[in-house]
Structure 1
Amino acid sequence: MVRWSALLAAALLLGACTGGTGSDRVPTAEPGVPVATQLDEELRDELLAMAEQDQGERTSGAPLTDEQRTDRLREIVDEHGWPTYDLVGQEGEDAAWLIAQHSDLDPDFQAEALELLRAAVADGQASPGNLAYLEDRVRAGRGEPQLYGTQTGCTRKGTPAQPEIEDPEGLDERREAAGLPPYERYLRTMTRVCGQG
């Protein structure tokens, strides 16, 4: 089982390398036609509070309420689609990803969120790094090889478990395209995290 401290460290690593805020882009409905958009600060704040609760539960050992957060994210997605940069900013999009990442009790919703996130990334409205993590999370839940090697837990010996990787020769190229550090550097960081117990 993956230790939550390892996931938190991975999320912090991810946050440092996922790139721009998306606030400097002008959204378009079709090429060359600008669309007026406005940040939904109330929704962003709600997502940030949900993510803070998620991390607080994981770091304090409190009972996890992932199911409630999943249900609320599902309602948000039903109403708005994936929470994009233009809708909730980079921090809000990151928070939505974190909730989807921890929606393991509802793998169908997690897979739906993955497809919505994939489309948002293609539109430049979400983090490619978040997509890489959720892609691997869904694959790991299905027992499939990972594409990016992001779902690396800690063994009982305090070392990182190395998951099965699809096309290992192309791993670092895929990671670089997603804004993630090389896999060996990631494993060194995970070695430190796992060694801390």
Structure 2
Amino acid sequence: MKYLTILLVLLFFSCNTNKKISENKRNNIISELDYIAKIDQKYAGIPSEELFKKYGREKAWEIFSAKRDSVSKDNQSRIKKLFNKFGYLGFNEVGKENSTKFWLPIQHADNDVEFQKQMLQELKKQIEINNAKRNEYAMLEDRIAVNTNQKQRFGSQVTYNTNGQAIPRNGLIDSLNIERLRAEYDLPAFKEYYNNMTIMHFEMNKEVLKKQGITEPKLYK
């Protein structure tokens, strides 16, 4: 009975560690990750001008959002298959750039928070052995917080006030120590990040904001 218990423990840990990947399999995985990242980023922004012109703003967003949800679910399915077969794909398995491509659909899996939570725990293990990016851990933790209606620790997830200025979605747990926390997890300074997000939001919604009397981004001083 003692030996059976030891065997079961060994099997448990072996199933939860990253598996050895041959060069041929690695190339196939990277091709899959390239596809996943490309389609993810295609629907990460806003509808194209062509779509707006063809359908109008409201209908364009409806079509775009439906396609984005479909793409997201397909990508999640692909990532789950990769994870179940090879474990978390970090630096050692696929390199830094491709590791981010593995993380992207997890970050965007807002319809499956339990999956995000599972991957956050896996990502924590990879951080501890320097096999994943600390900022990706921080952003996923914040994403889960927002998806469960909690305040954020790092302030990576934003929304916008009536002036078009970026603000932390759901607020911050500890605003006094936010800069230290962000630096610790390789995130840009709070003011720099929020000003960049404010500028980006203004450029993407310039015509709508101008109609509201907002003629330039309102930046943090």
* Bucket of the pairwise TM-score, normalised by the shorter protein: 0.7 to 0.9
Code of the aligned partner of 1:52: K
Matched, 1:98 2:84: no
Deviation of the 1:179 alpha carbon: 0.9
User: Kindly tell me: are residues 91 and 169 of structure 1, through their superposed partners in 2, closer, same or farther at Cα, counting changes over 3 Å?
Assistant: same
Matched, 1:169 2:176: yes
Matched, 1:135 2:141: yes
* Structure 2 CA distance for aligned equivalents of residues 161 and 176 of structure 1: 19
Residues 35-85 of structure 1: CA deviation (Å, up to 9, x unaligned): x87661221221121011011123463411101111111111111111111
Choose the corresponding residue for 2:199, options 186, 192, 197.
192
How big is the alpha-carbon RMSD for the aligned residues of Structure 1 and Structure 2?
1.8
* Structure 2 CA distance for aligned equivalents of residues 170 and 60 of structure 1: 33
Contact kept in structure 1, 2:135 and 2:187, CA below 8 Å: yes
Code of the aligned partner of 1:41: N
Contact kept in structure 2, 1:117 and 1:131, CA below 8 Å: yes
Return 5+ residue gaps in structure 2 as ranges: 1-19, 48-63, 206-221
Matched, 1:83 2:89: yes
Deviation of the 1:155 alpha carbon: 4.1
User: Kindly tell me: are residues 178 and 50 of structure 1, through their superposed partners in 2, closer, same or farther at Cα, counting changes over 3 Å?
Assistant: same
Choose the corresponding residue for 2:165, options 159, 168, 171.
159
The higher radius of gyration belongs to: 2
* Structure 1 CA distance for aligned equivalents of residues 46 and 191 of structure 2: 30
Secondary structure class of the residue paired with 1:51? helix
User: Kindly tell me: are residues 115 and 153 of structure 1, through their superposed partners in 2, closer, same or farther at Cα, counting changes over 3 Å?
Assistant: same
Which TM-score applies when normalising by structure 1? 0.76
Choose the corresponding residue for 2:114, options 75, 83, 108.
108
Choose the corresponding residue for 2:128, options 122, 147, 166.
122
* Structure 1 CA distance for aligned equivalents of residues 127 and 79 of structure 2: 18
Q: Count residues with an aligned counterpart.
A: 162
Choose the corresponding residue for 1:71, options 72, 77, 87.
77
Deviation of the 1:162 alpha carbon: 2.6
Which residue of 2 is the match for residue 56 of structure 1?
42
Higher helix share: 2
Which TM-score applies when normalising by structure 2? 0.68
After alignment, is 120-129 or 52-61 more displaced? 52-61
Residues 151-174 of structure 1: CA deviation (Å, up to 9, x unaligned): 013345422133311122221111
Percent identity reads 23
Q: Which has the higher contact order (CA 8 A, sep 6+)?
A: 1
* Structure 1 CA distance for aligned equivalents of residues 139 and 168 of structure 2: 15
Contact kept in structure 1, 2:96 and 2:132, CA below 8 Å: yes
